[in-house]
């Protein structure tokens, strides 16, 4: 995981571990050890926004960036996706849901109710394998 | 007419063979051979179904299907009325062509969808998964449910959950990773693609669901064989049993992962060493499969 991918990961970690929506400047400061240019971080945040991973909202003259979903929600989505790689999605989901804790179940529900995921799930209703 | 009837008989035999193969156990003794037979049977069934329709519809041309189609195209291009005597045969030709297009498109659409999902999956893994010294060569997801799977592709990615890493000891982890790596190396995702595409196209067909399950199990057995070649079967069996015991807790059942309802068959097979199907049996099966494909191809191409 090197290069731009690694930067995206670092930026997402800042947003996930931070306290609420952050400006580009705040993210640059959080990653000060890497000595990144402002434009570099802005580019990365733009890419993440295009991928649907961060939302942005205007705050006065600046943009503030926040993650579109929690880290746990994405982990749950990945685990659920791994289930979808095979046949009986409903049974697999029940098996999976029975095992998760309350907080994880909440994250799973959140991941499943995301519009992008719901649309994809419907389209792949009889899961490709 | 003989042609269409001949291909029709082959089609019926293929459908019967499908049913038999779904419940077959001999395939467990030679999973690679079983997979080849499944692929050939699928191909033969598709070709026969198309062949029956086109053979019936193009019968007036008194030629193989391929030559007859080009004659028909020439007729239509030059404006002379085609030679078919009945509208029913016209319908059969259209139906045959549509079926062929439908099958091809179904596979392509499924493949495109799978690729898109995989891309997103890989992107998310890059963001939230991490490497772990306890699981070399694999990415680890921070989740308590035990999961182990391979994300297929040009560069297959092995993924474990922290639940799985905690549940297995070092040898068992190595065996599970070898199993998943085998899935990636042998491109089992491509092996399964035609069947899953068909299941997507015909979701209510019980037979196709069973076929997907049967081929999935054979694919797991192939990966098991690969894994025990490097590590003895004990760690893999132990790992499978642990996954099975956590079922009802959670076992993400990826087709390329650990599915708990397949585990008893796989464990039994691994612990019973006398399971190999002898070479004559395997050759016979492959020969029969080749014949099954050759017949509709021959009938379709050769003039009557």
DSSP state of B276: P
> Does the beta-carbon distance from A98 to B141 stay under 8 Å?
no
B255 by DSSP, 3-state: which?
coil
Q: What is the pLDDT of residue B259?
A: 54
> Does the beta-carbon distance from B255 to A87 stay under 8 Å?
yes
Q: Which residues of A19-47 are buried (b: 16+ CB within 10 A; e: fewer)?
A: eebbbbebbbebbeeeebeeebbbebbee
A62 by DSSP, 3-state: which?
strand
pTM of the model: 0.81
Mean pLDDT calculated for residue range B271-282: 81
Q: What is the pLDDT of residue B136?
A: 87
> Does the beta-carbon distance from B253 to A86 stay under 8 Å?
yes
Q: How many angstroms separate the CA atoms of B45 and A69, rounded?
A: 46
| CA torsion, ordered B254, B257, B262, B263, to nearest 10 deg | -150
Between B7 and B18, the more confident residue is B18
Residue B59's pLDDT band, with cuts at 50, 70 and 90, is: confident
Mutate to test the interface with A, among B196, B253, B256 (most CBs of A within 10 A): B253
Residue B89's pLDDT band, with cuts at 50, 70 and 90, is: confident
How many other CB atoms are there within 10 angstroms of residue A50's CB atom?
9
Average per-residue pLDDT in chain B? 85
Give B190-202 pLDDT, tens digit per residue. 898 899 888 888 8
Mutate to test the interface with B, among A88, A99, A106 (most CBs of B within 10 A): A99
Residue A99's pLDDT band, with cuts at 50, 70 and 90, is: low
Which tokens in the block code for residue B68? 């007859």
Contact of A83 with chain B, judged by CB distance below 8 Å, is answered with yes
Q: How many angstroms separate the CA atoms of A24 and B164, rounded?
A: 38
pLDDT > 90: percent of chain B: 34
Q: Judging by beta carbons within 10 Å of its beta carbon (0-12, 13-18, 19+), is residue B248 exposed, middle or buried?
A: exposed
Q: What is the pLDDT of residue B268?
A: 86
Mutate to test the interface with B, among A3, A45, A78 (most CBs of B within 10 A): A78
User: How many angstroms separate the CA of residue A100 from the nearest CA in chain B?
Assistant: 7
Q: How many angstroms separate the CA atoms of B161 and B167, rounded?
A: 10
State the sign of the Cα–Cα–Cα–Cα dihedral A83, A87, A90, A94.
negative
**8 Å CB contact between A82 and B160:** no
ipTM of the complex, rounded to two decimals: 0.79
Calculate the alpha carbon distances from B4 to B56, B114, B265 in Å. Answer: 5, 36, 41
Which tokens in the block code for residue B205? 């067909």
Identity of the residue in A53, A101, A129 whose CB atom sits nearest the CB atom of B212:
A129
Between A109 and A80, the more confident residue is A80
Give A32-83 pLDDT, tens digit per residue. 998 889 999 999 999 999 999 999 999 888 899 999 999 988 998 888 888 7
Give B73-84 pLDDT, tens digit per residue. 888 888 777 666
Q: What is the pLDDT of residue B42?
A: 92
SS3 content of chain B, % helix, strand, coil (to 5): 70, 5, 25
Q: What is the pLDDT of residue A88?
A: 43
Q: Give the residue among B186, B224, B199 at the shortest CA–CA distance from B114.
A: B199
Q: How many angstroms separate the CA atoms of B46 and B296, rounded?
A: 9
Identity of the residue in B128, B209, B249 whose CB atom sits nearest the CB atom of A99:
B249
Between B207 and B302, the more confident residue is B207
């Amino acid at each position: 995981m090197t290069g731009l991918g690694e930067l995206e990961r670092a930026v997402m970690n800042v947003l996930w571990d931070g306290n609420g929506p952050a400006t580009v400047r705040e993210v640059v400061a959080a990653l000060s050890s890497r000595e990144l240019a402002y434009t570099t971080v802005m580019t990365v945040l733009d890419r993440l926004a295009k991928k649907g991973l961060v939302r942005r909202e205007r705050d006065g003259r600046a943009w503030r960036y926040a993650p579109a979903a929690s880290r746990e929600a994405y982990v749950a989505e990945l685990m659920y996706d791994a289930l979808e790689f095979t046949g009986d999605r409903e049974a697999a989901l029940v098996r999976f849901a029975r095992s998760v804790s309350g907080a994880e179940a909440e994250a799973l529900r959140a991941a499943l109710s995301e519009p992008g995921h719901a649309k994809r799930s419907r389209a792949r209703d009889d899961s490709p394998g | 007419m003989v042609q269409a009837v001949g291909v029709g008989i082959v089609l019926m035999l293929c459908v019967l063979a499908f049913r038999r193969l779904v419940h077959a156990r001999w395939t467990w003794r030679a999973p690679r051979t079983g997979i080849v037979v499944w692929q050939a049977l699928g191909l033969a069934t598709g070709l026969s179904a198309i062949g029956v329709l086109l053979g019936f519809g193009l019968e007036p041309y008194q030629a193989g299907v391929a030559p007859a189609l080009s004659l028909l195209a020439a007729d239509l291009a030059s404006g002379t009325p085609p030679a078919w005597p009945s509208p029913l045969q016209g319908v059969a030709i259209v139906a045959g062509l549509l079926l062929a297009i439908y099958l091809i498109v179904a596979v392509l659409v499924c493949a495109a969808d799978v690729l898109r999902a995989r891309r997103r999956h890989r992107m998310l893994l890059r963001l939230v998964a991490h490497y772990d010294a306890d699981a070399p060569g694999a990415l680890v997801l921070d989740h308590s449910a035990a999961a182990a799977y391979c994300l297929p592709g040009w560069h297959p990615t092995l993924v474990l959950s922290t639940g799985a890493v905690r549940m297995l000891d070092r040898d068992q982890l190595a065996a599970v990773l070898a199993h998943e790596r085998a899935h990636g190396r042998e491109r089992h995702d491509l092996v399964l693609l035609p069947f899953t595409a068909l299941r997507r196209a015909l979701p209510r067909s019980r037979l196709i669901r069973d076929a997907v399950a049967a081929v999935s199990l054979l694919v797991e057995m192939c990966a098991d064989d690969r894994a025990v070649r490097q590590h003895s079967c004990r760690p893999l069996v132990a790992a499978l049993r642990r996954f099975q015991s956590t079922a009802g807790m959670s076992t993400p059942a990826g087709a390329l992962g650990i599915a708990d309802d397949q585990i008893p068959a796989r464990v039994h097979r691994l612990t019973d060493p006398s399971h190999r199907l002898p070479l004559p049996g395997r050759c016979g099966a492959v020969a029969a499969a080749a014949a099954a494909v050759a017949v509709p191809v021959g009938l379709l191409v050769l003039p009557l």
